Amino acid sequence: MAVGESSLTRVYGPLLTMTLDEILSSGLIQDNVYNMAKTLSWFRSGNRIKVLQGGERIRIPVMTGTNGTFKWYSGFDNLNITPQIGHTTAFFTYKQAAVGLAIDGLSLRQNMGPAQINDIMTEKVRQGELSLGDGIATAIFSDGTGSANKQMTGLAAAVDTTPTNTVYGGIDPADNTSWRNRAVESVGNAASNLVSNMRSVYNSCSKGSEGVSSSPDYIVTTQTIHEALEALIAPRVRYEQNPAGGADAGIDTLKFKGAEVTFDDFCTSGFMYMLNSAHIMMFVHGKANFAMTDEGFQKPIDQDALVANILFQGNIAVNNRRKLGVLGGIT
């Protein structure tokens, strides 16, 4: 036995590490975490989560203006070759999160054997999944200032109710009108004002010449606001049957101008977000996409236990804020 190496590390460390590695390699944790909340699941569907393998920051090309060289011409007319700028780059920092899996020595010695170890690990992983899912789902609706600015920069920053006030992705919207999302800061009473303001924000988000990708396709709010909207438009609402079918499997989805309207338990009270899947994504680092620390399970110097961490490194990023909208102050 190496100097300083305990029997706990030597006997159980490799078995725990191998067991956790098998669980992680199966993709089970990713499936469970991403399906834990509506909007987190929406990011995972439709290829909205992008896996990167390196880079100091997340770099997103952003168009800030049109090409002004178009002209009609005939014969030997001079063509317009004026250099065009009209684009820049948004930068987003990686945000890191981890959940620790700790198993005390007594539990390990009381559950010797691969089968028992697997049972312990399954329980610990489930606890870790719940913690990861809760933390990331909460961060999706944050402004990134939580945990001393270490939290993921979520929708409260990307789709701001005062879109001219705050630098986002390193670009100042006060100087770049194209880098401003659509917003109604204070809707007020839902019964009187919600539908008309939804229509206004949706139509503003849909301006442009991008075809089918021009309009929001996912609208998320709280359960209270969702139910208020449902009551307002129930007589003329259009529902879409879940393709899973079956007498007991039919989950109806509320639609507004073709966009799915749903509620998320993690959405901020009084808010509704209109998102466009072509213009908002979640980026994760391939080496920290719910990955175990390289060392696997290790024994702390002052504890009779083995500990490993599951890592997440990523952030939400936007390439066109004008295609996103928010309604705040809904009562």
What mean pLDDT, rounded, does the chain reach?
86
Residues 8-19: tens digit of each pLDDT? 666 678 878 888
How high is the pLDDT of residue 103? 87
Range of the domain at 238: 7-63+86-327
**Is residue 81 included in any domain, yes or no?**
no
How high is the pLDDT of residue 299? 86
The CA distance from 161 to 159, in Å, is 7
The CA distance from 202 to 175, in Å, is 24
pTM of the model: 0.85
Determine how many CB atoms are found less than 10 A away from the CB of residue 173. Answer: 20
Strand partners, 327: 184, 272
**Is residue 75 included in any domain, yes or no?**
no
How high is the pLDDT of residue 47? 81
**Which residue bears the tokens 């393709």?**
243
**Is residue 104 included in any domain, yes or no?**
yes
**Is residue 133 included in any domain, yes or no?**
yes
Sequence letter at residue 235: P
Sequence letter at residue 190: A
> Could you give the number of structural domains in the chain?
1
**Is residue 69 included in any domain, yes or no?**
no
**Which residue bears the tokens 């700028």?**
85
How high is the pLDDT of residue 144? 95
CB 291 within 8 A of CB 323: no
Residues 174-232: tens digit of each pLDDT? 989 989 999 999 999 999 999 999 999 999 999 875 555 589 999 999 999 999 999 88
**Is residue 193 included in any domain, yes or no?**
yes
**Is residue 78 included in any domain, yes or no?**
no
**Is residue 190 included in any domain, yes or no?**
yes
Regions in the chain scoring below 50 on pLDDT: 1-5, 244-251
Residue 25 maps to which CATH number?
A: 3.90.1690
